[in-house]
Amino acid sequence: MKVLKSFIYGFIPYFFLKSFKIQSPNIQFYEYIKNYGYSRHLFLFRHEYQNFKVDVLFDESKNLHYVIHNDKKLYFHNGLTTEKIERMYKALIMEQDVRSAHHYLDSLDEVNGKTFLDIGSAEGLTSLDVIDIVDKIYLFECDNGWIEALKATFEPWKEKVCIVNKYINSFNDDKNQTLDDFFKDMSKDNLFLKMDIEGFEREALAGSTNLFSTAKGFSYAICAYHLPDDEKVISSFLNQCNSSYNIQRGYFDHKYRSIVFRSI
């Protein structure tokens, strides 16, 4: 199957563009698939990670698997096999390689002394990366399967980490929370927002208008590849809030597209 996909998504488009559209910026991606094999989420440095060894360990006291990430324990929920954890962790660190269009931070200095909002935290890798230099972290995760793992990962820093088991949305109820309501009685200044919530970014942003319009020292990284019109919808929201940004673009789901909105 991988050989067939490499042929369909690598060899065929590569030789077509080389013959008829030699100036296309996509040639480099198709050539990479041709040379290194198929990948839906393509990083032009992916081959560098192929032999990267991931040791998946087991914590009997917590009944959870974990990996050592930058000398810290990163736990995973019980629904994952060790093979899945290995693949997932390798994909996560590739995504956050600064050469990837999916990375959230160019440097940890961007969040030094800030409050970090991890919207769609899942395993919490990025929050673990910044835990030592931020003032506070809010982990927003609606998947109950990740809550136990997040509590285990951030137990050493529980005084500066708050886990919110709700959807960030455009309305408030027992399971949903708007960011505007969440911060109504709290300081909205000096925040960094990372948002990756599988296509629900627009709903979350709709409930964050006041935050984006009034917060000082506010910066963000917002994923914009889950839905076909994400770039149009999210850029319209940010423009209405007079927010300055750039767009990181890369190869994803068989096309070159917007990946992450980054504040300027």
10 located within any domain: yes
Residue 90 has what pLDDT? 95
The number of domains in the chain is 2
State whether 237 and 129 are in the same domain. Answer: yes
Q: Which whole number is the average pLDDT over 246-250? A: 95
pLDDT (tens digit per residue) in 54-109: 999 999 999 999 999 999 999 999 989 999 999 999 999 999 999 999 999 999 99
pTM of this structure: 0.93
**Structure token pair of residue 205:** 């942003």
User: Does residue 65 sit within a domain?
Assistant: no
pLDDT of residue 97: 96
For residue 190, is it left (φ>0), alpha (ψ between -120 and 50) or beta?
A: left
pLDDT value at position 252? 85
Q: What is the pLDDT of residue 2?
A: 79
- For the segment 157-201, what is each residue's pLDDT rounded down to a tens digit? 999 999 999 999 999 999 999 999 999 999 999 999 999 999 999
pLDDT of 19-51, one tens digit each?
A: 999 999 889 999 999 999 998 878 999 999 988
Q: Give me the domain span that covers residue 233.
A: 103-263
- In this structure, is residue 249 part of a structural domain? yes
Same domain, 29 and 109: no
Confidence of residue 140 (pLDDT cuts 50, 70, 90): very high
Same domain, 14 and 145: no
Whether 96 maps to a domain, the answer reads no
Write out the two tokens for 151: 């509590």
Distance (Å, whole) CA 227 – CA 13: 24
Whether residue 86 is contained in a domain is answered as: no
What is the structure's pLDDT at 39? 85
Q: Is residue 98 part of a domain?
A: no
Q: Are 220 and 116 within one domain?
A: yes
The verdict on 228 and 150 lying in the same domain is yes
Structural domain includes residue 156: yes
Task: Please indicate, yes or no, whether residues 135 and 226 belong to a single structural domain of this protein.
Answer: yes
Name the average pLDDT for the chain: 95
Same domain, 25 and 145: no
Q: Are residues 25 and 120 in the same domain?
A: no
pLDDT the model gives residue 25: 85
Residues 34 and 113 in one domain: no
pLDDT computed for residue 41 by the predictor = 78
